[in-house]
Amino acid sequence: MNTSDILKKVRKIEIKTRRLSDHIFSGEYHSSFKGRGMTFSEVRQYQYGDDIRNIDWNVTARYNEPFVKVFEEERELTMLLMVDVSGSESFGTQNQCKKDTLTEIAATLAFSAIQNNDKVGLLLFSDEIELYIPPKKGRSHVLRIIRELIEFHPKSKKTNITNALEFLSGVTKKKAIVFILSDFMDSDYEKALKIVGKKHDLTGIHIYDKREMEIPNLGLVPVWDAETGKTHYVNTASKKVRRNYKAFFLKNVDYFKTVFAKSGSGIITTRTDQDYVKQLLGYFKHR
């Protein structure tokens, strides 16, 4: 893909996802994620119903009538997008591959954040840390993130979520809103997730393809494993093979949901041929 093609794709994604963030997610995002605390804004005269604990006694004594301190939410937040760029993300049999869906969701979240004047950072991972872009504000910064999501070529095709979570703990000292976008084809990341979940507002977004859950009866077919680079011949005519195939998928999904729930983190699951807008909006509204 040359520079011109990349810029066209970036622009196309910006138009689609910015419209979503401007008109749908902006308000939901703002109300879903709280600021770091309350900061003093002004002093005004006491009104019926005001909390007496907010009375400013010095000003009250000076003017011989009650005044209260007014506080407002310290709004600025930091969002970090942790995106899986392992080989399995290139898989897709429906409308688009998982990587395309990941990119659109990440862009929508990023534009929602900058609409609220928050910082956005990006962490691309496989079984190693592929790229880290520290959080910043602004449209040009988000466009850089989208460009990296489109054109980045990872060194490795494997997955290690624990490694990515440990890196996050090392580089992000203050509390952040963290979205992990992946197909979660990994295991044994519960301990690292629990540590990160105690400090950050964490949400896992599970993206999968219809054919990862159920494989049709196509007879003997060659299946290429994108993470190992090996090709295996699979007898899809066998009911046992199809049953085991589905069981493996469901085991991964169950582990993902269980460990995220245990760590007190949020969960979103969407398929490449489904409308992820409904999934995101529903999640924000129920927070």
- Mean per-residue pLDDT pooled into runs of 10, the chain (287 residues): 68 76 65 58 80 87 86 71 92 83 92 87 96 94 93 93 96 91 95 94 95 86 79 86 91 96 95 88 81
Long-range own/partner contacts, residues 3-10 (CB < 8 A, 24 or more apart): 6/147, 6/150, 6/151, 9/150, 10/143, 10/146, 10/147, 10/150
Query: Structure tokens of 269?
Result: 């699951």
Query: Structure tokens of 123?
Result: 């962490």
The residue ranges of every structural domain in the chain are: 3-32+76-286, 37-74
pLDDT at 41: 58
Give Cβ neighbours of residue 185 (< 8 Å, ≥ 6 apart).
Answer: 86, 88, 159, 227, 252
pLDDT at 227: 77
- Homologous superfamily (CATH) for 3-32+76-286: von Willebrand factor, type A domain (3.40.50.410)
Secondary structure class of 124 (helix, strand, coil)? strand
Query: Structure tokens of 267?
Result: 């969960």
Secondary structure class of 193 (helix, strand, coil)? helix
CA gap 198, 182 in Å, rounded: 21
* CA 139-161-113 angle, 5° bins: 20
CA gap 264, 243 in Å, rounded: 32
- pTM of the predicted structure, to 2 decimals: 0.80
Name 80's bridge partners.
121, 178
